[in-house]
């Protein structure tokens, strides 16, 4: 069942479905009026620190404290 259909633009740009749906959700949240908009945008805060490990040694952890628009 090889797919001959063209992949959607976001998949071709390297995004996963998760990133795509997050961006869509962010757009929807931005459509709200105040004060609900500020409330909804607090639900979008991202903060975690991730470190990749190579052969049992951790590299420097990367702090991801961004909103998913990036």
Partner 1 sequence: MAMAALRREGRRFAPLLSPRPIAGVRSSLVSEEDAPFGTRSISTQVVRNRMKSVRNIQKITKAMKMVAASKLRAIQVRAENSRGMWQPFTALLGDTPSVDVKKNVIVTISSDKGLCGGINSTSVKISKALHKLSSGPEKETKYVVLGEKAKAQLVRDSKKDILLTISELQKNPLNYTQVSVLADDILKNVEFDALRIIFNKFHSVVSFLPTMSTILSPEIIEREAEAGGKLGELDSYEIEGGETKAEILQNLAEFQFSCVLFNAVLENATSEQGARMSAMDSSSRNAGEMLDRLTLTYNRTRQASITTELIEIISGASALEG
d(CA 24, CA 40): 14
Q: Can residue 64 be called a binding residue for partner 1 (CB under 8 A)?
A: yes
Q: Can residue 51 be called a binding residue for partner 1 (CB under 8 A)?
A: yes
Q: Can residue 31 be called a binding residue for partner 1 (CB under 8 A)?
A: no
Contact 13, 5 (CB under 8 A): no
Q: Can residue 5 be called a binding residue for partner 1 (CB under 8 A)?
A: yes
Q: Can residue 13 be called a binding residue for partner 1 (CB under 8 A)?
A: no
Nearest of 31, 18, 1 to residue 10 by alpha carbon? 18
Contact 22, 70 (CB under 8 A): no
Q: Name the site residues for partner 1 (rule: CB under 8 A).
A: 1-5, 7-8, 11, 16-19, 21-22, 25, 43-53, 55-56, 58, 61, 63-64, 67-68
């Amino acid at each position: 069942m090889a797919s001959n259909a063209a992949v959607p633009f976001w998949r071709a740009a390297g995004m996963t479905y998760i990133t795509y749906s997050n961006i869509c959700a962010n757009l929807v949240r931005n459509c709200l009026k105040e004060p609900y908009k500020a409330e909804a945008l607090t639900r979008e805060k991202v903060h975690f620190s991730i470190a990749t490990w190579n052969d049992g040694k951790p590299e420097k952890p990367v702090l991801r404290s961004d909103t998913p628009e990036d």
